[in-house]
Amino acid sequence: IRFYTIILELKKLINPPPSPLVVKDGFVSAFKFMSKKDTISNVFNLNSNSFWDSCWIVFFVNAVVSTLASYGIKANLDGDFQSGILPRLLLITVIDICLFSILVNTIFEKIGKGDAFYKFIIPFNWIQSFQAILMLSFAILGLILPPSIFVFFGIGVVIWVTFSLWRIGKEEVGLSGWGATGMIFLSVVIEASLGMFSRSLSMTM
């Protein structure tokens, strides 16, 4: 009964997954901001519902990437290892989303910008997901066409996305240039650390 109560409480806190229309609008909004066609306040709804939508899309996109990675690794692994790798990858994704959101909120509260949390985290999540989809598309096309064709496109996307993420902190939230850079670095460090932890855990199991 207690477990059931906990599940009900979590359902009250966490919004259900976004509809396809919300997903489409989110990516369109991300593209508009990245293309400098509009500001974050004009293209994104900055509220708790939009926050959960952005978290869900990060999870979904990473779930797709993790699934493809899992099937790619499966060819060289035994059955027991296969059955456990995907759940671990998905768990790492959930931890990544939660940890980064908590740290960003804590940092913003400490520097007196707590009201800018949604303005930062919502577009940040959507833009990162936009990058993941583009890079995944390049990887899939690379199986059909020469991979070298997409090298320059991939580098261009990474530069474009990194600059857009930097603009969120610098131009929209009002952080210093180094502060905006630090937020990107924080995201990279969390992802890299969790990725290394996941690989080390896989090696020992």
pLDDT tens for each residue of 85-99: 667 777 888 888 989
User: For residue 107, what is the enclosing H or E element?
Assistant: helix 79-110
Residue 6 pLDDT: 41
Place of tokens 């261009």: 156
Residue 141 pLDDT: 76
Q: What are phi and psi of 175, to 5 degrees?
A: -75, 165
Residue 194 pLDDT: 79
Give the DSSP letter of residue 20.
H
pLDDT tens for each residue of 85-138: 667 777 888 888 989 999 999 999 999 998 999 999 999 999 999 998 988 887
pLDDT tens for each residue of 45-72: 999 889 999 999 999 998 887 777 656 5
Locate 105 and state its tokens: 């909120």
Give 12's pLDDT tier (boundaries 50, 70, 90). Answer: low
